[in-house]
Amino acid sequence: MDFALILIFIIGYTAIAFEHKLNVNKAAVAILTGVTCWVLIAVNNLAVHTNPLEQLSFHLTGISEILFFLMGAMTIVELIDAHDGFEVVTSRINTTNKIKLLWIISFIAFFLSAILDNLTTSIVMVSLLRKLIEDKKDRMFFCGMVIIAANAGGAFSPIGDVTTTMLWIGGQISSLNIMVKLFIPSLICILVPLTILSFMMHGTVTRPVTNEAQSKTTSTVTERNIVFLTGLFVFLFVPVFKSITHLPPYMGILFGLGILWIVSEIIHYEKDEEDKHSLSVVHALRKIDMPSILFFLGILLAVAALETAGHLTSLADFLNENMKNESVIVMSTGLLSAVVDNVPLVAAAINMYHFPMDDFFWEFLAYCAGTGGSILIIGSAAGVAVMGMEKINFFWYLKKISLLALLGYLAGAFAYIGLEYFFHL
């Protein structure tokens, strides 16, 4: 039955990869895969530590945190977009040169991810790109770089990526040290693919031509700015909320959504119901991409099933027993995080190893686990979010972006090793 569980997982991932060939929505495949894996665990009692129902409840807690966060962030972005709030940013980006725009977008994503987190950043950046680039093919390249940049920016910040946050909270790394040690490797991780793409790209992008009838909005410039600034404050407040209350990020985003909801109701109080409907949170909730959220649910359920059956721990044990070199173990973990969730892999490493705080192993693990997921579009929360929002094909990303992400990942990894061993930085 263990073999059947792994086989179903592989078949599910393959069907997701061949979504366009099979003409079956990946969300449907992901949900079916996740539930089927748990049926096998329940029927055959494959759970390692306790009964399957307790394990499912345990994992569902973590999964729901991600889904509620995603729903809250998407709703805020949709509300800002309904008020043309992103015009505040897009109006200041005047260049249409592909190379210049690619560098600007990538660095915004890189630094924004360190302040917010890679998932929120990817959602915000895709929404910005839709305002800046009309052609879908051009936009997909930019989205690929957003994934790489958001994951790289999140890796060097204690609040930028869930695995770095895990290591920070667990006492394996300290906040200032990880930012100092991983900034240069993370920067190199995006500079390498950026440089390569700069030689491959040429020409200019076309800005979307907005139909006046479609763009007509009843919000004023003042209302637009209020919603945009409040939404920005909400996103920036989430890590502060987490630090103060020690509650998970989804509580912060829901708290912020409540504030923005009240603000939007107040500023549109005197308007007719018809005029303010399209500017309401209720309308924004109807516009969020639910198939992407269900896709997340299915993928995370499937990976949780593998962890419950002990397969991810066995994989970590296998790496530990057969690869004696710390660097090789950590880099392999990063590569594996492109296929399976990096959270259980890092959790297994935390339980398995007992190095002191700010040891080479923990710092390198933070980098590799954070950036390795960029190699495949389904390897990180940022990638899955972008895949759902822009309907990017798995194989398109594999052919066009994966090699760039791998080269950036390896360049940053070797940069970290070199800086540590030769300069003791």
**Tens of pLDDT along 66-104?**
788 888 888 888 888 888 887 777 788 888 899 999 999
In tens, the pLDDT along 103-154 reads 999 999 999 888 877 888 898 899 889 889 998 888 999 999 999 999 999 9
pLDDT band for 403, please (50, 70, 90 cuts).
very high
% of residues, the chain, pLDDT over 70: 94
Query: Model confidence over 297-342: pLDDT tens digits?
Result: 888 888 888 888 887 777 777 777 777 778 888 898 889 888 876 7
Dist CA 243 CA 245 (whole Å): 6
Average pLDDT, the chain: 85
Q: Phi and psi (nearest 5°) for 116? A: -95, -105
CA-CA distance, 114 to 18, in Å (whole number)?
A: 33
- Ordered by start, the domain boundaries in the chain are 2-422
* pLDDT for res 213: 46
Instruction: Tokens for 425, please give them.
Output: 């930085």
Kindly state the DSSP code that residue 355 receives in the 8-state scheme: P
Q: How far apart are CA 410 and CA 88, in angstroms?
A: 37
Distance CA 25, CA 335 (A): 26
Q: Which residues of 6-45 are buried (b: 16+ CB within 10 A; e: fewer)?
A: eebbeebbebbbbbeeeeeebbbbbbbbbebbbebbbeee
Total residues found in the chain within this entry: 425
235: pLDDT strictly greater than 60: yes
Q: Nearest-CA neighbor of 249 among 127, 68, 61?
A: 68
179 C-beta neighbours (distance < 10 Å), count = 17
Which segments of 156-280 does DSSP mark as H helices, in order? 162-169, 175-200, 212-215, 221-245, 249-267, 273-277
Spatial separation of the C-alpha atoms in residues 173 and 358, rounded to whole Å: 5
Pair 40, 1: CB distance under 8 Å? yes
